[in-house]
Amino acid sequence: MPPILPDFSNSVKLKYVKLGYQYLVNHILTLTLIPMMIAIFMEILRLGPEEILNLWHSLHLDLVQILCSAFLIIFIATVYFMSKPRTIYLVDYACFKPPVTCRVPFATFMEHSRLILKDNPKSVEFQMRILERSGLGEETCLPPAIHYIPPKPTMEAARGEAELVIFSAMDSLFDKTGLKPKDIDILIVNCSLFSPTPSLSAMVINKYKLRSNIKSFNLSGMGCSAGLISVDLARDLLQVHPNSNAVVVSTEIITPNYYQGKERAMLLPNCLFRMGGAAILLSNRTSERRRAKYRLVHVVRTHKGADDKAYRCVFEEEDREGKVGISLQKDLMAIAGEALKSNITTMGPLVLPASEQLLFLLTLIGRKIFNPKWKPYIPDFKQAFEHFCIHAGGRAVIDELQKNLQLSTEHVEASRMTLHRFGNTSSSSLWYELNYIESKGRMKKGDRVWQIAFGSGFKCNSAVWKCNRSIKTPVDGPWADCIDRYPVDIPEIVKL
């Protein structure tokens, strides 16, 4: 017997139903106000000028009342604009591109590992397995001191790497923006594992002869998410210092932190971390509004350090032979997932459209009241952002976030390609990813970008930017000579 009613799922494309629902909920205020305004306008037309004039005279307003009302409106407007946070602009940024002489192909890396760990073939085999599955390519770079056999991680070599990376990024930023060193009011440098005396921020001040009254900060020990912490600090400082420019420098110095022991948990960073750095110019000057690339919308920071496991999952310590290294624990991804969950719980209400928030709320109420086994609704963050910059900490990090946030291959393309071309450059990886999106010509005016980073402690930090103008494809930068080759196919395992 043929069905009396048509199959609803086949007769209606459900995606169009969802689009209709999203449009209705997201524009409910507009759809309600427009008919009301039309009705008021039609009523005014019906009354005519004489009746409108009689209505005005019937209000019995004298000069004192009008002046008081005007003063109250001006007072409220003044309080509102004075209490409104200053807009923070990202004028431009520059990423360090390592020289070809620092390139470390897989064959070179494994040859060095075999020579350094010749008495421990199992550790060599472990590093080879990690490298095969890492998602890194053949063009990642390590500093000159690591190319020696054995490596020579001296203080002089570490300072040399810091000068090469930071000064190159700063020089590029000056060229791109026309910024003069004397125009820098605030300087923030973040480098997690290398903290010499004088500090890296003092090194920058000495090199460029910055002003004596500059407000400088040097952040260390804060892991791969320190770049967004620096942005947050710059935002807070720019709120209290009007008409100012802030430069943020994010990097990680590899030279003194290359582990030469046998512990597997400490050998893992050797396979993933590579040279990199970025310099970012932020400003609250209204004169920068037209040429600025982005406007900072939100920064959300989550710290799980109160939990012992989270605190120790990325830990610098000595192994049994007294060699210092960074230990990455097996439960790192689970801890990162919990930190991300807390972060997006705060971020969601700030960025998600009303349609997604309503669905999430209804599902939450249903789980609490009717059936706890209901599948929780995962908000569609693709409704809130056009671009995603996920910290290129490793293939597992990107895979996990793609799965949890239900992102497409294109959404995580910038992260995967950055990991492949440059490796894990720590806190600066987000800026290589943003530059990848720009180099592909995908960034348009009004586009929203979500930067997500994880760091030791354990921290998950997010920043939301809105594109201020359509951005032309850059002719220079770290991707200039290779962007046409990307995206590339990255196999699950690269046999070495």
The catalytic residue positions are: 224, 303, 387, 391, 420, 424
CA atoms within 13 A on the CB side of 217: 21
Q: Report yes or no: 432 and 480 within 8 Å, Cβ to Cβ.
A: no
For residue 96, which amino acid is it?
Answer: F
Residue listed under structure tokens 């494809």: 473
Cross-strand bridge partners of residue 8: none
Element housing 280 (H / E)? strand 277-283
- Helix, strand, coil shares, percent, the chain, to 5: 50, 15, 35
Edge-to-edge strand list for the sheet holding 277-283: 215-219, 186-190, 245-251, 277-283, 89-95, 294-303, 459-467, 448-455, 387-390
Q: How far apart are the first and last CA of the chain?
A: 62
Give the closest residue to 357 by CA, choosing from 22, 33, 16, 20: 22
Give the closest residue to 93 by CA, choosing from 443, 484, 374: 443
Which tokens in the block code for residue 375?
A: 């599948």
Residue listed under structure tokens 């790192």: 332
